[in-house]
A and B are shown apart, each in its own frame.
Chain A
Amino acid sequence: MKQLFRIVGGVIAACLSASLPAQQVELPLRPGSVRFLVLGDGGTGDTPQYEVAQQIVRYRQRFPFTFAIMLGDNIYGRERPQDFEKKFIRPYKQLLDANVEFHAALGNHDDPNQRYFKPYNLGGARYRTFKKGNVRFFVLDSNYLDPLQVKWLEKELAASGSDWKIAYFHHPLYTTARRGPEVELRAILEPLFVKHGVDVVFAGHEHVYERLKPQKGIYHFTVGGAAKLRHGDTRKGPLTDATFDRDRSFLLAEIADDALYYQAISRSGNVVDKGVITRRGTGQRTP
């Protein structure tokens, strides 16, 4: 009987994998490059989160990134120990077991005490900066942008001598999705980003994928569909370069010297956007 179950199980698995698209990695995989995963709004604990996580694991076999940046709403609803199990540990177990580091930003659904949760690498702070290769990341708490945080950001940006500067936080400064951009945050952050040469901004909050045309020289990505989806929520317009709002999604990124290669992938494994952008001061900035 057991044997029969095994055979049937094997047949089902084979059929499923045959119906899935092959993981098409179109990133250069250059030696010494900085490779990472971008995912936002993932902490529901529902089936779509697990399915996205499985797709990420499949892609990681071909694109071995070493860390992930999380754009907030890491845990929806209650934050009991069992919720962390269901909404973070279990779905991403294979990544955690492979020592993939998670670097989280806080979303509006996140208790700020998540800063003490070691796997999120916030080190007890609501905002922080870290460096990987030639990239400096600035993790902000866009839920509570107090003057202290702004002052800290300006100091850190000014002190950063890195080639690439990437800021990430929960609320998008530009988006075409229903809830719209955070224009108040933009009024405070954008001048600092422009002044200090931030290259790319990643945000979540809107449960879609979006890549916008560079705004004041800065590329903006919304990657907020790692579990929830606002179907058909984006509006094509002058801001838009690419959108995907028909299913859940995540983004893979690779930075090699002056180029950032990206590939957005749907829950079913299809590549929904891809391209390359270049660092500030190296000529053309459009893909």
Chain B
Amino acid sequence: MSLKEHLRLLTFVGLVAVLASATACEEPKRADPRDAVLADFAKRVDAYAALRNRLADSVGELDPTGSQAEIATRATSLAQAITAERNAAKPGDIFTPEVATILALLIKEEYSRRSDPVQETREDQQEELPDFVPRVNQIYPTTYPLATFPPALLPLLPSLPENVEYRIAQNYLILRDIEANLIVDFMPNAVPSGA
């Protein structure tokens, strides 16, 4: 074996030793306790989505139509079907206290990072929703606008299946079925007071 080959061998052995010791020293990855809560939230949301999709199929698919009556009838039928299946649903079924704590913290942190112009815009948007207190299985009041959802907040919240969305009204975070225009669940005190 030449000197060059010796050196190559030594380098290789050294590298293997360093890698082995690094792996040995690596601490086992600690599980984030929030992961289990968020996984549970995702499971609950998915269960809702599966239910509403099944009911949407039974009500019938909606293709673009020139008849607003058809669109309205379909939304009403879907909302009625969902409400009938979820007649025992209550606040916190999806936004459990555990996930609510996590989401409230995320929202609080995001709100605390707002610049003054952003804060003013959001306050203006909330002024469009006077005296609105949500209930589970309530049709989102059609006389009120859907306040614009803060776009910087959306990427921080857990993603939702198609046809379910977040909305904020006053200090409530609402889970809304888009096609049925139905309040699926809501979380009080989600938005920091005075924000």
Helix, strand, loop or mixed for chain A's interface? loop
B64: A residues at CB distance < 8 A: 115-118, 122-124
A111: B residues at CB distance < 8 A: 142, 146, 181
Binds A, one of B5-13, B19-27, B67-75: B67-75
- Identify A180's interface contact among B72, B120, B143, B149, CB under 8 A: B120
Q: Is A188 an interface residue (CB 8 A)?
A: yes
Inter-chain CA distance A123–B63, complex, in Å, is 8
| Closest residue on chain A to residue B176 by CB atoms | A112
Least CB distance from B133 to A in Å reads: 20
- Identify B152's interface contact among A108, A171, A187, CB under 8 A: A187
| Closest residue on chain B to residue A125 by CB atoms | B64
Inter-chain CA distance A84–B149, complex, in Å, is 25
A77: B residues at CB distance < 8 A: 142-143
**Contact A143-B149, Cβ < 8 Å, known A77-B143, A78-B143, A179-B121:** yes
Is B71 in contact with A184, judged by CB distance below 8 angstroms? no
Is A144 in contact with B165, judged by CB distance below 8 angstroms? yes
**Contact A108-B151, Cβ < 8 Å, known A77-B143, A180-B121:** no
B143: A residues at CB distance < 8 A: 77-78
- Identify B63's interface contact among A116, A171, A183, CB under 8 A: A116
B62: A residues at CB distance < 8 A: 116, 124
Q: Is A162 an interface residue (CB 8 A)?
A: no
B120: A residues at CB distance < 8 A: 180
Question: Interface centre among B125, B146, B148, by most A CB within 10 Å?
Answer: B148
Q: Which residues of B contact A (CB under 8 A)?
A: 62-69, 71-72, 75, 115, 117-118, 120-121, 124-125, 128, 142-143, 145-152, 154-155, 159, 165, 178-179, 181
Q: Which residues of A contact B (CB under 8 A)?
A: 77-81, 83-84, 107-113, 115-119, 122-124, 142-147, 171, 179-185, 187-188
